């Protein structure tokens, strides 16, 4: 584990994993049927920032299985 990944938030790591699988934030949002600003808000500062809301976890895990993105339950909760 690199120093960078040890400090990456769950939201940032999840978004990055989907990007490595070829999905931009806009494409990820489209697949989740939400606005891109919703996905961006997950990693911005403020209350609850850095975390993916639990209501999206199942959809993200299913999408990860479909796209080959390296996203697991642990990624969604811990960011690694």
Q: Which domain holds residue 73?
A: 3-78
Per DSSP, the residues of 54-69 read GGGHHHHHHHHHHHT-
Confidence of residue 1 (pLDDT cuts 50, 70, 90): very low
Model pLDDT for residues 35-77, shown as the tens digit of each residue = 999 999 998 866 667 999 999 999 999 999 999 999 999 999 9
pLDDT number for residue 45: 66
pLDDT number for residue 47: 65
Give the chain's domain count.
1
* Angle CA 44–19–66, to nearest 5: 115
Nearest-angstrom CA–CA distance, 36 and 30? 8
**Are 22 and 32 spatial neighbours (Cβ–Cβ below 8 Å)?**
no
CATH number, domain containing residue 33: 1.10.260
Model pLDDT for residues 26-37, shown as the tens digit of each residue = 999 999 999 999
Chain centroid offset of residue 75 CA: 8
Q: What is the mean pLDDT of residues 10-19?
A: 95
Report phi then psi at 79, rounded to 5. Answer: 85, 10
């Amino acid at each position: 584990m690199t120093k960078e990944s040890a400090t990456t938030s769950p939201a940032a790591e999840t978004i990055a994993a989907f990007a490595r699988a070829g999905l931009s934030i806009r494409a990820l949002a489209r697949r989740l049927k939400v606005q891109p600003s919703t996905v961006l808000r997950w990693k911005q500062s403020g209350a609850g920032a850095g975390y993916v809301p639990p209501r999206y976890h199942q959809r993200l895990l299913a999408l990860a299985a479909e796209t080959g993105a390296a996203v697991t339950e642990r990624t969604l909760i811990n960011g690694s």
